[in-house]
Amino acid sequence: MSGGMIPGLMMDEFGRPFIILRNQQEQKRIIGNDAIKSHIVAAKNIANTLKTSLGPKGLDKMMVSSDGDVTVTNDGATILKLMDVDHEIAKLMVQLSQSQDDEIGDGTTGVVVLAGALLEQAEHLLDKGIHPIRIADGFELAAQCAVKHLETIADSFPVNPDNLEPLIKTAMTTLGSKIINKCHRQMAEIAVNAVMAVADLEKRDVNFELIKVEGKVGGKLEDTMLVKGVVIDKDFSHPQMPKELRDVKLAILTCPFEPPRPKTKHNLDVQSVEDYKELRKYEQEKFASMVDKVKATGATLAICQWGFDDEANHLLLQKQLPAVRWVGGPDIELIAIVTGGRIVPRFEELTSEKLGKAGLVREISFGTTKDHMLVIEECENSKAVTIFIRGGNKMIIEEAKRSIHDALCVVRNLVTENRVVYGGGAAEVSCAIAVAAEADKISSIEQYAFRAFADALESIPLALAENSGLSPIETLTEVKSRQVKEVNPALGIDCMLNGTNDMKQQNVIEALRSKKQQILLSTQLVKMILKIDDIRSPNDGM
């Protein structure tokens, strides 16, 4: 090796180092604008898939899993979660929708459509020779301008527990595009009443942990109800136990009703009938002792996380101590919160102070299959509520759960920040006009990005008009010109053909927080995508 060579590097005969990439023959590398355009194509494909699901007349998607499970939904986050995407940028779009769902709970379709439209506009600017960094910076400035404009057009929204009508109308806006809009108002009322039951209006806080959504196949969607308490998918452990208990004291146990096993590696050999009888007597004494310990505290109902055998069950019936077995961890925690009880891991630690209290525990049966469920109501901490959804099949119940979740999130957002903008694309059109006007004041090259951002914002009302069977360009042009003439930011797309474009009259309302989050999240993602100019991955992954 010559003195000038670097140790550890392989050189050719001219002293140049070899550059070795693992599996180089399987790698495909794209750099520069080609890479950015590859991202844009992937993102546009995802956005175009979701675009037809936007708005009250949006279409549903049927997703079939590898196991053959069928999901029918128009919830953007769910569609993307169930889509099998390979492209890295497509995966980012899935995460974008998921983050909107986690943070706000509504607008999961709109945020992806807006991101796709921004990237489409960015492609035109790249073709004009504008550097991607200048485009990204221009988009960010335009997003800040749009958010400031939203603040100026937002209206204050009354959140009054004595007058829930405005909240119900807002929840109805959210449910307008869902499969459950046949019982539109009923579902909106359930969502509003559930949130108001657990809301702390002084602190402007809503604890979603206290709202449980349960579903059971059978009955109609109209049979859905709100229970002021907890519904658990269990029944009393013995069919002869009473089906209704009043002024209940609950022992919440995470220890099983069974004799302790010897905690050793040795076996227990039973060699004679006397030994067996002695063992049996020991087990019976242990069972009786456990039940007596629970009874001694004054408990009138035992909720047990684990199961117990027929002997223990029979003994519980004899001693007149109703019990429920195999109650899961989350349910146990919720019961403890609702009843004010303590979860007890050992019988020795059970005292009367640790018992939970409930006014009524009843077993309900329904449907032709006579399914049973337990309802715990009239509790001291009566804040916890359960939305009990009924439906003809599992698919409808799952979609109803997603729809109710969206409505709950919207009402929660209004409780935490009671400012709203108007839907139907009205806010987007108003922002587009404001951003385009701001572009005229900019002398730098960012003005192109501003105008492109304004065009991208118009993709939402365009998609709403198209999905409603209207002529997209004509409808949008009319609404834009009227907004400028009448200085009315509440004018949007009349998707339901009610005869007026004024979304204030139609009560089509969206939380300001949701709209701001949509614009900011989609802009952040687009900015990140425009800054990636190098991809290297196996051929089959592209």
Which residues are designated catalytic? 75, 108-109, 406
Residues 32-56 as b or e (16 or more Cβ within 10 Å = b): ebebbbbbbebbbebbebbbbbbbb
Q: What are phi and psi of 384, to 5 degrees?
A: -70, 140
The tally of CA atoms less than 13 A away on the side-chain side of residue 49 is 23
Report the length, in residues, of the chain. Answer: 542
Residues whose CB falls within 8 Å of the CB of residue 499, separated by 6 or more in sequence, listed in order = none
- Select from 191, 182, 215 the least CA-distant residue to 389: 215
Task: Please state whether 81 falls in left (phi above 0), alpha (psi between -120 and 50) or beta.
Answer: alpha
Residues 457-487 as b or e (16 or more Cβ within 10 Å = b): bbbbbbbbbbbbebebeebbeebbeebeeee
Both tokens of 304, joined, read 């047990």
Residues 253-290 as b or e (16 or more Cβ within 10 Å = b): bebbbbbeeeeeeeeeeeeeeeeeeeeeeeeeebbeeb
DSSP SS3 for 268: coil
The burial class, CB within 10 Å (0-12 / 13-18 / 19+), for 137 is middle
DSSP SS3 for 32: coil
